[in-house]
Structure 1
Amino acid sequence: MRLATAEIDLSALSYNLKRTKALAPNSKVMAVLKANAYGHGLVTIAQHLHDADAFAVARIDEALALRAGGVTKPIVLLEGFFNQSDVSILLANNFQTIIHDENQLGMLEQAQLDAPIATWLKVDTGMHRLGIAPAQLSAFYQRLKKTENAKPAVYLMTHFPCADDVKNDRTAQQIREFKQLTLNYNEPLCLANSAGILGWRDSHCDWIRPGLMIYGVSPMLHCIGKDHGLKAVMRLTTKVIAIRSILSGEYVGYGGRWQSEKNTQLAIVAMGYGDGYPRHAKHGTPVVIKGERYGIVGSVSMDMITVDIGDNDGMIQVGDDVEMWGRALPVEEVAACADTIPYELLCNITPRVSYEYIE
Structure 2
Amino acid sequence: VMSEQPTWFCPECHAEVGAQDTRCPHCGADFDIWAARPYGERLILTLQHPLSEARMSAIIALGKRGDSAAAAALAACALAHPSDVVQALEILRALARMPADAQREAARSALLAHPAHAVRSAAQALPGTHTDAAQIARWCHALAEHAEVEPRIAALGSAAIPGLRALLAEPPEVVNAARLFAVQMLARIDAPAAHSALRETLYQPPLDRLAPVVAEAERAVKSAALTALAACEYDERADDIAWAFNVARLPEAAHCAGAQRVHALAPALARALDDDVLGAPAATALLAMPDALDAALRAPLTEWLQRDTARARLGACARCCAWRRRGNARSPRRGSKPGVLRIPRCVPPLPAWRGRNGRAPR
What is the TM-score normalised by the length of structure 2?
A: 0.28
What is the TM-score normalised by the length of structure 1?
A: 0.29
Which one has the bigger helix percentage? 2
Which one has the bigger strand percentage? 1
Give 1 or 2 for the bigger CA radius of gyration: 2
